[in-house]
Amino acid sequence: MVNKFYPETFLKEPEPTIGGVNISYLGEKYGTPLYILDKKTLVIQAQKYINSWKTYYKNEYKVLFAVKALPVLEVIRIFHNLGLGILVSTGGELYISRAAGVNPQSIYFHGNAKTLKELEYAINENIAGIIIDNFDEFEKIKYLVNKKNTRTNVLVRIIPNIEVKTHTSIRTGQTDTKFGLPIVQAYDLIKKILQEKNLNFKGIHSHIGSQIFDITAYVKLAEVLSEVYKDLKDSTKVQEMSIGGGLGVAYTSEDNPPEVEDLAKEVSAKFKETVGHSFTIICEPGRSLVGRAGITLYRIESRKELPNVRKYVAVDGGMSDNIRPSLYGAKYSALVISKDQNHVTTYSIAGKHCESGDILIKDFIDSWPKVGDYLITFTTGAYNFSMFTWYNATLRPAIVLVDNGEDKLIVKRDSYEDLLRGQI
């Protein structure tokens, strides 16, 4: 059985390839560390979302790519050309999306601390909707639209009070969260919005977290949103309801993420049972669109054995290009590209940074590699590039897109000169 964390086109034998391209060749051509993206996986994941909602939800639907997962022009273009909208959380993400050629009427803007400048930018671009997180943000938007005498669409983010089984740092729907408003407060905010001639209330936004494996949490969310819809129907028309994103992906063989089709099927069935398909449903995947499409290629730089303690293999990257193991304790799968497949042993894969916590994978079992061999880590399409840091003045890796035997550079590797950009 093919591992769930492999990209669609990844082949292990006779030599590791992706998108029909030899992975060692990519390392020699572009250097390492190197992010590699499989276009076929990106396309298939987007089509799964589109086809699933089209099949099960008998009204309008919108699938928005959450740009924070991978804010890269070429990736945004691929999804936009397939019919996906875009979800941004900062002015910078909005700028990248517009630079990619995205129609502003396909863009939604969420976040809990939008600045006046960011909000003005979004209003000037006439995006599809600004998701209001709090009362202070409402006052900022009201000030701007009245000053400009222009009208803008808004949604209100609620706290659905749903706890999910995921890392505490990526839960967003529980009672104590920095995102959104309790439902009663959200109702008070909506009343204020409805009194403003330059604000057009579109609907309700919600999000329960990330890396979610249990679809029953989304079904429960649909129940909460249904009650909100019923509460509001006498005072205003709710045109859109967002269930957020957060569907999980496989990082290891133990992970068993749900199918996109099951998400659309079960949530659609719940809404049909409660309030019908009476509004446009919005879904906002990020990780589940791009995570499995990406791998990272490293070169092994050193090895050491601490007698009766541990073996270490160190690569030429680490927490700068993948901070998630250090930040969340995230687990990854890997593969050594080595001609010597006989000596299998247990060791930890360390990064090159000046932190003891810079460990990509602990207690990894594979061939004992040689210096200069390559090592692949899987499921690195989401958040690795976007959370990159210049710690230790490390250069940001390049990104290569592969498809049908061809490779295309879509992000250049940093140079030493880039490290001085902005410094005086």
Q: Per DSSP, what are the bridge partners of residue 259?
A: none
| Residues 367 and 338: beta-carbon distance below 8 Å | yes
| CA 144 – CA 263 distance, rounded (Å) | 38
Instruction: At 142, list the tokens.
Output: 């009201």
Question: Could you say which DSSP state residue 307 is in?
Answer: T
In three-state secondary structure terms, 168 is helix
Instruction: At 28, list the tokens.
Output: 């020699």
Cis (ω within 30 of 0) for the bond into 33? Answer: yes
User: Is 354 noted as a catalytic residue in this protein?
Assistant: yes
What b/e string do you get for 42-72 counting C-beta neighbours within 10 Å, with b at 16 or more? bbbbbebbbebbeebbeeebbbbbbbbbbbb
| Residues 311 and 305: beta-carbon distance below 8 Å | yes
Question: Could you say which DSSP state residue 273 is in?
Answer: H
| Radius of gyration, alpha carbons of the chain | 23
Q: Per DSSP, what are the bridge partners of residue 335?
A: 376
Instruction: At 278, list the tokens.
Output: 């009476």
| CA 159 – CA 207 distance, rounded (Å) | 8
Which one of the listed residues 354, 356, 417, 421 is annotated catalytic? 354
Size (the chain), residues: 424
- Neighbouring CB atoms inside 10 A of 95's CB total 15
Q: How many helices (H) and strands (E) does the chain have?
A: 11, 20
Largest distance between two CA atoms of the chain: 73
Q: Per DSSP, what are the bridge partners of residue 34?
A: 297, 398
Q: Per DSSP, what are the bridge partners of residue 153?
A: 200
Q: Which helix (H) or strand (E) holds 361?
A: strand 359-367
From residue 57, alpha-carbon distances to 50, 281, 319 in Å are 11, 8, 41
| CA 162 – CA 175 distance, rounded (Å) | 7
Question: Could you say which DSSP state residue 395 is in?
Answer: P
Q: Which residues are catalytic?
A: 354
